[in-house]
Structure 1
Amino acid sequence: MPFFFLFQAPPTVHLFTRTAKADANIILTCLATGFYPKDIIMQIKRNGRVLTKEDGVETTDVRPNNDGTFQRKDHVEILKSDVSTYTCEVNHPATSLHVEEKWDHTPFENEGNAALIVGGVIVGVVFVAVAVTLIVLKLKTKRLGKICF
């Protein structure tokens, strides 16, 4: 058993977004991880008001990590265009930790991947077009050994 079980371990808190099924929405996630003991209070707030299940908040509840510590993840789906102030508040009574992370409205994590995907598709199409052109030239000229790939 690791030595820190004799003590308390405060959580590390992360607030981030990811894509949602609906294009106009994103999923705001609050994650607290690495804490011991497992008792924790977590709330997602919009303009200072605590969001509830009725507002669409979903939770994993507290789950164990592989190292004997715990984690909890709450999330809520919101409009991309929402300019409200969203925060994630975490209280870990055993370590007297109180953290309130504010979402800075940074683009969601998968937004940059769209450009990479489009770039990859373009490179792939160009590669296929060059390969097809070379094959056609090879077949047309019937000089199979003189065209390099």
Structure 2
Amino acid sequence: MGTCVAKLFALLCAFLLYRTPPSIQAEKHSLYYIYTALSKPVNLPGVYEFTAMGLLDDTQIDYYNSKEQRNIPKQTWMKEKMPEDYWEEDTKLRKDKERWIKKNIDSLMKCMKQNESDLHVLQWRHGCEVEQQGSEPKRIDEYCYDGEDFLSFDYKESQWVTPVDTDLKSKWKWDNVPILKQHTAGYLKMECVDWLKKFREYGDEELRKPSPPDVHMFARKSRNETQLKLICMVTGFYAKDTMMTIRKYRTGLPENEIKSTGIRPNPDGTFQIQKSVEISEDEEVEYDCFLFHTTLKEPIIIKWGNQSSYTYI
């Protein structure tokens, strides 16, 4: 079973190393819902007994917590595209799931004879991933208890499975509830993929805005006094299908010479990435930052020569 921790945002695209850009890799899209329940309240700001969130391509699209008890959109396009009765119905579903997961955390504590005064956490993640059109989707329904893999649903075999060292009582109990297996398999088979496609269509204008990314190239002093750190930064893009590299005389530098931050989210829902390379301060060489993005008809090239001034950051 895969890790129960939410996935990190950025899986990098292939690097562009030569003058002719290769074709962009096939997109991978995902829709996951993550529910987290605590066995008791904690007096910490922003921490609730129960939270739920939806993630489309690692971007939060809705959110619910046990205090406000209302599912709210986290993206403008979700608010605009989904009717009011969708949010009313989804709030009811979140409340049902809150009761369900709280009931199960109580059962687990009793089954494992744990002290009620201690804090315990039950997490549930379910959803799907589609790598390319026509491929078999990846379907996930899994539970973690106190940070450890606890239970997952084997979609192909239509049964619950547990790690070897996990108490099997819950598995046996759930395997004897046919309606639960039918509901889980039914959601994973069609409903999740259908919603993934629908949300992707609804959010396509926002996720792939035609405005080009901002590309900047600058340098700063390296720790080595005779060298500069040459940095290429791209920010303000939506779709993560981005190929960017630093080139020397229009030829991409070897990957092992370039350091990358990876693709990171901006507060406004866009993404950014920085790549850097160490160069000699007196090197009279033409470098450039080469970017190709799905919103562009042709690459963006920002040149940087041997300049007399550079930026401190």
**Shared fold (TM-score greater than 0.5)?**
yes
TM-score by length of 1: 0.67
1:5-33 CA-to-partner distances (Å, cap 9, x unmatched) read 25424210000001100100000000000
**Aligned pair partner of 1:80 in 271, 281, 300:** 281
Query: What CA RMSD, in Å, does the superposition of the two structures yield over aligned residues?
Result: 1.7
Query: Could you tell me how far apart the structure 2 residues matched to 1:51 and 1:6 are?
Result: 30
Q: Is 1:48 matched with 2:250?
A: yes
Gaps of 5+ in 2: 1-74, 78-204
Residues 99-114 of structure 1: matches in 2 within 5 Å? 99-106=300-307, 107-110=309-312
Q: Are 2:259 and 1:71 aligned?
A: no
Q: Does 1:15 align with 2:214?
A: no
The answer to whether the aligner puts 1:35 opposite 2:237 as a matched pair is: yes
Q: Aligned partners of 1:6 and 1:62: how far apart in 2?
A: 15
Contact 1:91-1:99 at 8 Å conserved across structures: yes
Secondary structure, counterpart of 1:32 in structure 2 = strand
Q: Identity of paired residues, percent?
A: 32
Correspondences of 1:113-124 after superposition (within 5 Å): none
Q: In 2 relative to 1, CA 6–109 (structure 1 residues): closer, same or farther, beyond 3 Å?
A: closer
Q: Deviations over 1:24-57 (max 9, x none)?
A: 0000000000001111000100112211233x21
> Which stretch of structure 1 is more off in the superposition, 95-104 or 29-38?
95-104
Any idea what SS the aligned residue of 2:299 has?
strand
What SS does the corresponding residue of 2:263 show, helix, strand or coil? Answer: strand
Q: Distance in 1 between matches of 2:282 and 2:252?
A: 20
Query: Higher Cα Rg: structure 1 or 2?
Result: 1
Structure 2 counterpart of 1:79, one-letter code: S
The offset of 1:96, in angstroms, is 3.1
* Aligned pairs for 1:117-132 within 5 A: none
Secondary structure, in 3 states, of the residue corresponding to 1:87? strand
Distance 2:252 2:290 in 1: 9
Q: 1:61 aligns with which of 256, 262, 272?
A: 262
Deviating above 4 A after TM superposition, structure 1's stretches of 4 or more consecutive aligned residues are none
Task: Indicate if the aligned counterparts of 2:207 and 2:239 stay in contact, CA closer than 8 A.
Answer: no
Q: Which amino acid aligns with 1:61?
A: G
